[in-house]
Structure 1
Amino acid sequence: MFTKILIANRGEIACRVAATARRLGIATVAVYSDADARAKHVAACDESVRLGPAPARESYLCAEKIIAAALATGAQAIHPGYGFLSENAGFAQACAQAGLVFIGPPASAIEAMGSKAAAKALMEQAAVPLVPGYHGEEQESGLLHSQADRIGYPVLLKASAGGGGKGMRVVERSEDFDAALASCKREAIASFGDDRVLVEKYLTRPRHIEIQVFADGHGHCVYLFERDCSVQRRHQKVLEEAPAPGMSEERRAAMGEAAVAAARAVGYVGAGTVEFIANQDGSFYFMEMNTRLQVEHPVTEMITGLDLVEWQLRVAAGQALPLKQEQLRIHGHAIEARIYAENPEKGFLPAIGTLTRMRSAAAVEFRLGQSAPGDPAHVRIDAGVREGDAISPFYDPMIAKLIVWGPDRDAALRNMQRALAQYQVVGLATNIAFLQRLVAGQAFSTAALDTGLIERHRDTLFPPPSSPDTETLALAIAAILQQEHAQAERSDPWSQRNGWRLNTRLLRTLRFEHDAGDTTVQLDYAGDGQHWSLLTNGQTHALQLHAADGDTLIISLDGRTLRADVLREGEWLHVFDAHGQHSLRHVDPLAHAGHSEAEGGRLTAPMPGKIVALLVQKGASVAHGTPLLIMEAMKMEHTIAAPADGVVEDLLYAVGDQVAEGAQLLEFKAA
């Protein structure tokens, strides 16, 4: 076994690999960019080496710097994690030439599966089922268009060297093909340095089911069952679970054996995932093979009780697989939710900022390497950031992976709902509330799964903003009263929580702004500092404050006891109760007199990025919703559209220009 390894990655996967290495007594070396100098993964390792500036191409994608760091620190092997250089055959080969073990498959296997087109040709030879499509090397746009017409719409355009949903477009009509192809190729070249694409028939209501495979250098290969990854947005996974609901033993064996055949066809060694698109009738087709550990590997670990990173290390060190196929068993059910810094209501636009608060359900430590999980309330959190850390524009905006286990799917669902409600993040937008709606929704809870689930249930998953209920308002007001009392000067009777007034009672108006508008509440002080009456929506409610401990409040509302955490940041109050998070802005009318945030005629960058396409010219008259330009940020394209009918008076940036968050992109005059 190795005595020291270098982890050529960052974030939660680097922390995850370091945890197993520590358990096995293996020293670890972290690498970091300037943006990650104080990152969690650096602290999790025994030593660290700086790679360079924040952009990945100058740090985490610099193979020669990483290999030099490994040699300088005496590391014997390099674990690539996922993303970055994990599926780079040249990097794997360079490691071998430098005398370092690449903890992954041989370069030949990566190369064979790295081109989706070439991989499909290999799978055809291995008798693995394939989706009808064009996987050839000829990339002339006219030919690709004619192939799409031949296959029949809808078709899926997919970057040949791609992954993670980058460089993928669904084309519904022939007349939309050329624009979709151009966008797909731009995103593919930006993400992978390769703009080749393949064209496939887009199946309606398919499921995305993947098989975890593992092979060693002694000729053994097994499958560690399946994961259902059907719940996706923009072809990126949102929820994953294992085992796949409704999977029969016969279908599981057929898919597992096909996955093993795919791995053997390329001489695979190590951990890999063979991804299939599956019809509702049980038929399935090979999509691609990911020649690395997957983001969602924890659900497989949860149902098998195995540490897949330990298996990776043992196989890379030349050992045989620890178990044979007949020794592998499924125990219970696991679900993983990816918690992202993003705004689902704005097209899942990534968010950046500081995690001023990050709290979660108490995680039960996952006993890595146990024969079977046994805790029915099992919660695991894999995070690469801590409270106080920042989500930067340079890398994937994942905050954490929340994984739960239960003896069956219903129990796992309940555990996930409870864990999401207890996850608290303040400082930037997150997808937590969206995940709560998704998990609680009828489609997911009844396992009516397919890759179009989110779009099909958009009305329920993206409801219009609603006003805070009386419980939320009462908790917010109790927090205001408690803070005012704590900060009041002892000599100022007007600032006391009891609201004492000579020969009268204090009646106070409080106004709150929120996503649905604003709400006004009348607060009537009883004069004892413990009891109040709230008047809202024409109804009166009795409020009593029982206890306050830091951010935690216990109140009584109309005789019902409520407990919640309320965090106050300036004017904002973030209420965390049993149902999740609610954010309100307490408006002080004196502080905001004469202030207006209205701003017209400007279209600004939602986050730092690069201009990749200008779709209109200066002086153009456009209708509301007309696409004006395309930005690339966090490896995703974002279209800036006209907010109203009007005229584009000036374009302030050219294609290729970098822009800062909030930068005015063009001058626009509404009609």
Structure 2
Amino acid sequence: FAAALKKAGIVFIGPNPRAIEVMGDKIESKKFAGDANVSIVPGYLGEIETAEEAVKIADEIGYPVMIKASAGGGGKGMRIAHSREEVADGFSSARNEAVSSFGDDRVFIEKFIVNPRHIEIQVMGDKHGNVVYLGERECSIQRRNQKVIEEAPSPLIDDATRKKMGEQSVALARAVDYDTAGTVEFVVGQDKSFYFLEMNTRLQVEHPVTELVTGIDLVEQMIRSAAGEVLNLKQDAIRLDGWAVESRIYAEDPYRNFMPSTGRLVRYQPPQESSENGLTIRNDTGVYEGGEISIYYDPMIAKLCTHGPDRASTIAHMSDALDQFYIEGIGHNVPFLSAIMNNERWQSGDISTSFIDDEFPDGFKGGHRSAGITNKLAVVGAFLDHVENTRRRKISGQMGGRHVTFDSQRVVNMGDDWIAATVEPENGKMVHVVLDDGKTQTLEGAWKPGTPVWNGMINGEKVSMQIRRMLNGYVLSYRGVEEQIRVYTRREAELARLMPVKIPPDTSKQLLCPMPGLVVSIDVAVGDSVEVGQKLAVVEAMKMENVLRAERQSIVTAINAKQGDSLAVDEIIMEFE
């Protein structure tokens, strides 16, 4: 494309064709980097034709290994393999994803560095041979090799390491006459050793965090470079100011193993962009309320960024911003992102690319509901119920003859907790809620029924909480915790405790489609005996292949789908004894 534009005399706001050709191919770029004396990860950089050849190469390199699409990016066409069997399975999936996403099925294999960090250097060049680096971005919080949270700078990198990585990146960029914005990615050991991964010859998704800490508009610089201007940035003048964090908002359901979620954005209310008191909120997005999220595109729908004077304040500001980010109509990862912001290991900066697997080994079940969070949920639930009860008493046409009141003593139920609460309004400006521990919680902040986010203060602390109405209560979301809150009178609570618990249907003998998607393959037949972990089917959604495996030993009794079928969520794919 860039070459065609050049031939037609059209200026391309991007790299020159040679840089794209050399650095855009992961196999060739590694060879090029090696020739330029840039440290590279040990591996096999030739083309691999068959799964058998891939297994042989992996055996020679030593496990674990990383299978990667040569033209890949965004976590697509990548698999980590710890055994010969995983290499064989991963090779096929990586090639299929590579063809689907990039039209190129070439893959290569390299050694997977255990407990690594993923850190990248932003470079900027012009058409006059000038290139500078603009610090690093920490991109280690990943799931399925797809970045989830990025920050700048990295909590690991010191000035000396930053200088070494930056100078190597600049040398590599100069070697291909790089003349715009680009990113040199490294896998970094906890000892600060680093190895070249690839160069992305484009503006990265996570570029806003670099803009926030440097004050440099990268898009403006790209346009200036394309126009032939001399780069007006000098290396010794570039400074990193404060800290920035980016959270990628994905249309993925974290409660269903992050399966892609499609549908209409019934409500889409991001936090208000602002910059005050040294704290900034920025939201880059391309979706809108009423729009549709389909299965044909990447699941990312927004990039929420915050900037502050230091890492702790920036993370706290991000946590507040995520509490205000309301999405309805599709599954999304906002609660998961919020839970990470409140994770002690994340806050300490002791992270690696295995962070999500380490901290959420059984998947995401919701954030930790501490005693403090439980109290806040109970207080807000009682307050919302009080507001709606007050409103009901003002409806016209009610029977006269007596003053209608309602009991100020309520019982808040969430899960197995039943919390007594007494609501005491004061002059319409604030509400005092006395919980069953005898302590008074003072709540300030108005709420109009139907408003999806409550913003206010509890005991002087700023709190934002998401609200969805349900029968006899609300679904409240705060700090990654999502709870069903039911508010009863004391008598209603006594009766509610006696109600039988509805038992969900048994689906253990069925394989259900976890998300809307296209069946890529059915890997078993009726009558087959399957073992735990055996591949049963592959479903593709949002350009990612999802391998569905057996959760128990059994025999296949029926198959209800075939290759090429488009399935809805929870549609039955196959049945077992």
Alignment of 1:193-208 (within 5 A): 193-208=103-118
Match of 2:129 among 219, 235, 238: 219
Cα distance in 2 between the residues matched to 1:563 and 1:324: 43
Question: 1:475, 1:564 within 8 Å by CA — same for their partners in 2?
Answer: no
Q: CA deviation at 1:426?
A: 3.5
Change (3 A) 1:364 1:470: closer
Give the gaps of 5 or more residues in structure 2: none
Cα distance in 2 between the residues matched to 1:330 and 1:104: 25
Q: CA deviation at 1:596?
A: 8.0
1:155 counterpart residue number: 65
Alignment of 1:598-613 (within 5 A): 598=505, 600=507, 602-613=510-521
Cα distance in 2 between the residues matched to 1:455 and 1:159: 23
Q: Secondary structure at 1:161's aligned position in 2?
A: strand
Report whether the alignment pairs 1:180 with 2:90.
yes
Change (3 A) 1:309 1:526: closer
1:575 counterpart residue number: 476
Change (3 A) 1:509 1:190: same
1:436 counterpart residue number: 338
2:322 counterpart residue number: 420
Q: In terms of mean alpha carbon deviation, does 400-409 or 560-569 score higher? A: 560-569
Match of 1:107 among 17, 25, 33: 17
Question: 2:316, 2:341 within 8 Å by CA — same for their partners in 1?
Answer: no
Q: Deviations over 1:573-620 (max 9, x none)?
A: 24356x466342659999x99998636465433332111121221133
2:47 counterpart residue number: 137
Q: Secondary structure at 2:140's aligned position in 1?
A: coil
Alignment of 1:553-592 (within 5 A): 567-571=467-471, 573-575=474-476, 579=479, 582-584=482-484, 586=486
Letter in 1 for 2:237: Q
Q: Secondary structure at 2:155's aligned position in 1?
A: coil
Question: 1:212, 1:272 within 8 Å by CA — same for their partners in 2?
Answer: yes
1:328 counterpart residue number: 238
Q: Secondary structure at 2:274's aligned position in 1?
A: coil
Q: Deviations over 1:348-373 (max 9, x none)?
A: 222233444444443225xxxxxxxx
1:308 counterpart residue number: 218
Letter in 2 for 1:598: P
Instruction: Say which structure, 1 or 2, has more relative contact order (CA 8 Å, 6+ apart).
Output: 2
Q: CA deviation at 1:460?
A: 10
Cα distance in 1 between the residues matched to 2:357 and 2:269: 30
Match of 1:450 among 352, 371, 382: 352
Report whether the alignment pairs 1:618 with 2:520.
no
Q: For this pair of structures, how many residues does the alignment match?
A: 558
Change (3 A) 1:410 1:476: closer
Q: Secondary structure at 1:195's aligned position in 2?
A: coil
Q: CA deviation at 1:313?
A: 0.8
1:469 counterpart residue number: 374
Q: CA deviation at 1:289?
A: 0.6
Report whether the alignment pairs 1:649 with 2:557.
yes
Change (3 A) 1:568 1:461: closer
Change (3 A) 1:267 1:622: same
Change (3 A) 1:545 1:139: closer
2:571 counterpart residue number: 663
Cα distance in 2 between the residues matched to 1:204 and 1:285: 13
Q: Deviations over 1:476-500 (max 9, x none)?
A: 2432343354356544469x99655
Change (3 A) 1:481 1:354: farther
TM-score, structure 1 normalization: 0.73
Q: Secondary structure at 1:289's aligned position in 2?
A: strand
Q: Secondary structure at 1:456's aligned position in 2?
A: helix
Q: CA deviation at 1:295?
A: 0.6
Change (3 A) 1:266 1:656: farther
Q: Percent identity?
A: 39
Question: 1:227, 1:244 within 8 Å by CA — same for their partners in 2?
Answer: yes
1:289 counterpart residue number: 199
Match of 1:268 among 172, 178, 190: 178
Cα distance in 2 between the residues matched to 1:270 and 1:566: 42
Q: In terms of mean alpha carbon deviation, does 470-479 or 595-604 score higher? A: 595-604
1:480 counterpart residue number: 385
Question: 2:335, 2:367 within 8 Å by CA — same for their partners in 1?
Answer: no
Q: Deviations over 1:512-568 (max 9, x none)?
A: 6xxxx56666788999999999998xx7888999874314779999x9999665634
Letter in 2 for 1:348: F
Letter in 2 for 1:128: V
Question: 1:437, 1:461 within 8 Å by CA — same for their partners in 2?
Answer: no
Change (3 A) 1:566 1:273: closer
Q: Deviations over 1:20-57 (max 9, x none)?
A: xxxxxxxxxxxxxxxxxxxxxxxxxxxxxxxxxxxxxx
Match of 2:162 among 252, 258, 266: 252
Cα distance in 2 between the residues matched to 1:545 and 1:306: 41
Q: Secondary structure at 2:190's aligned position in 1?
A: coil
Letter in 2 for 1:379: I
Q: In terms of mean alpha carbon deviation, does 559-568 or 255-264 score higher? A: 559-568
Q: In terms of mean alpha carbon deviation, does 139-148 or 314-323 score higher? A: 139-148
Cα distance in 2 between the residues matched to 1:273 and 1:573: 45
The Cα RMSD (Å) is 3.9
Letter in 2 for 1:159: A
Cα distance in 2 between the residues matched to 1:248 and 1:389: 44
Change (3 A) 1:620 1:259: same
Give the gaps of 5 or more residues in structure 1: 1-90, 366-373
Change (3 A) 1:356 1:570: farther
Question: 2:367, 2:480 within 8 Å by CA — same for their partners in 1?
Answer: no
Letter in 2 for 1:423: F
Cα distance in 2 between the residues matched to 1:474 and 1:541: 11
Letter in 2 for 1:475: V
Match of 1:631 among 539, 542, 545: 539
Letter in 1 for 2:2: A
Q: Deviations over 1:160-209 (max 9, x none)?
A: 11111111111112343212212222222222222211111111121211
Q: CA deviation at 1:97?
A: 3.9
Q: Deviations over 1:324-383 (max 9, x none)?
A: 223322222222221223223432222233444444443225xxxxxxxx9621222222
Q: Secondary structure at 1:385's aligned position in 2?
A: coil
Question: 1:424, 1:576 within 8 Å by CA — same for their partners in 2?
Answer: no
Match of 1:640 among 520, 533, 548: 548
Question: 2:142, 2:354 within 8 Å by CA — same for their partners in 1?
Answer: yes
Cα distance in 2 between the residues matched to 1:456 and 1:188: 28
Cα distance in 1 between the residues matched to 2:186 and 2:461: 50
Change (3 A) 1:587 1:192: farther
